């Protein structure tokens, strides 16, 4: 099990709590008919689609639901690596009728589902890379498979492909209860997100909402969370700590480059060091760093070394 599965490794962390809130919101949106199937897609690669689907599936399993997570990205499926299971045989082998070793495959989908370290959570990997993923997903056999999976568990979560690249996710969106679109902060383009939304609606799919991933977390807000660890100490994400450290390193590096232009300038600039607040967020630190450097540049141009 990789560190990406934060809801299983750190169930009391603030990020895990956000996934539980997401789970609850999705459930309340489908209280009338009941939620049996969910598709997770994105606009483009590297927006955190598989990470989101894996952790969301884990929260459903932790709530006592029997969950089957299906990797429908037959081109670049990676859920098997997150959960540490074998990638083959998988969905493509079942639908194509050909096993990963070239022999006829088993005709019972249950035999392709793999157990995970998370209780109540099962994974159906993508399987071997086929030459025709879209044709397999649009087949009647896939539609029947989706109905069969809903009968053996409480909820089926499908990890689809990025929608702007291929039509695989659109095909699945027609046959699930609702779809969740994952986008990335300052990475996803609004016109692409709008296009994905319209495409899903145009084929008859339903949209539960949009998850904005990779949002910058202010350090002060992170420290003020109500999460307490096993030793009653607040736990801070390593990712946040790495971001803060990298910004501090960048601030020191850029300030050093400016101060080393001449020896005399270096001595004067050391007298006016940049003062930072330990409670600053990474964004605030970066803004102060840029302002500090601009002040030093202005002093150099004016010949005023304060």
- Tens of pLDDT along 93-145? 999 998 888 888 888 999 999 999 999 999 999 999 999 999 999 999 999 99
Q: What is the DSSP track for 236-281?
A: --HHHHHHHHHHHHHHHHHHHHHHTS-HHHHHHHHHSPPP--TT--
The sheet carrying 114-115 orders its strands as 114-115, 121-124, 67-71, 155-162, 37-42, 178-184, 207-213
Nearest to 101 by CA among 85, 86, 116: 86
Architecture of domain 6-215: 3-Layer(aba) Sandwich (3.40)
Give the distance, in angstroms, between the CA of residue 272 and the centroid of all CA atoms in the same chain. Answer: 42
Residue 287 pLDDT greater than 50, yes or no:
yes
Task: State the first-to-last Cα distance of the chain, in angstroms, to the nearest integer.
Answer: 55
pLDDT at res. 270: 44
Segments making up each domain of the chain, as ranges: 6-215, 238-302
Q: What is the pTM of this model?
A: 0.71
Average pLDDT over residues 40-46: 94
Q: What is the mean pLDDT of residues 140-161?
A: 96
Does the pLDDT at position 70 exceed 90? yes
Strand-pair partners of 180: 40, 209
Find, among 122, 178, 120, the residue nearest to 149 by Cα: 122
Q: What is the mean pLDDT of the chain?
A: 79
**Rounded to 5 degrees, what angle do the CA atoms 125, 131, 134 make?**
70
Map residue 47 onto helix, strand or coil: coil
Q: Which residue has the higher pLDDT, 280 or 12?
A: 12
CA 19 to chain centre: 11
Give 193-250 pLDDT, tens digit per residue: 999 999 999 999 999 999 999 888 764 454 444 333 333 333 333 333 333 333 334 4
Q: Are 177 and 206 in contact (CB under 8 A)?
A: yes
**Higher confidence at residue 276 or residue 93?**
93
Q: Are 37 and 138 in contact (CB under 8 A)?
A: no
Q: What pLDDT is recorded for position 103?
A: 85
DSSP 106: P
Residue 296 CB neighbour total at 10 angstroms: 22
């Amino acid at each position: 099990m990789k560190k990406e599965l934060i809801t299983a490794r750190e169930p009391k962390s603030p990020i895990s709590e956000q996934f539980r809130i997401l789970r609850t919101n999705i459930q309340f949106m489908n209280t009338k008919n009941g939620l049996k199937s969910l598709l997770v897609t994105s606009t483009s690669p590297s927006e955190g689609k598989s990470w989101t689907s894996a952790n969301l599936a884990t929260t459903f399993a932790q709530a006592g639901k029997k969950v089957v997570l299906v990797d429908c990205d037959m081109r670049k499926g990676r859920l098997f690596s997150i959960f540490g299971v074998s990638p083959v045989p998988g969905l493509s082998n079942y639908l194509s009728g050909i096993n990963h070793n070239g022999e006829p495959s088993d005709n019972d989908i249950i035999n392709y589902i793999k157990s995970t370290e998370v209780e109540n959570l099962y994974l159906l990997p993508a399987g071997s890379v086929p030459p025709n993923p879209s044709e397999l997903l649009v087949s009647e056999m896939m539609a029947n498979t989706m109905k069969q999976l809903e009968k053996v568990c409480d909820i089926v979560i499908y990890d689809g492909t990025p929608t702007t690249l291929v039509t695989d996710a659109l095909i699945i969106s027609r046959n699930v209860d609702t779809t969740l679109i994952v986008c990335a902060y300052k990475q996803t383009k609004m016109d692409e997100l709008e296009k994905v939304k319209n495409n899903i609606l145009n084929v008859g799919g339903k949209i539960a909402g949009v998850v904005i991933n990779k949002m910058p977390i202010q350090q002060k807000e992170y420290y003020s969370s109500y999460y307490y660890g096993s030793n009653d100490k607040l736990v801070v994400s390593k990712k946040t700590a790495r971001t803060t450290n990298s910004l501090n390193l960048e601030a020191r590096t850029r300030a050093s480059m400016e101060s080393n232009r001449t020896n005399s300038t270096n001595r004067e600039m050391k007298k006016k060091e940049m003062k930072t607040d330990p409670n600053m967020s990474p964004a605030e630190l970066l803004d102060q760093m840029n302002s500090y450097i601009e002040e030093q540049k202005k002093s150099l141009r004016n010949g005023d070394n304060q």
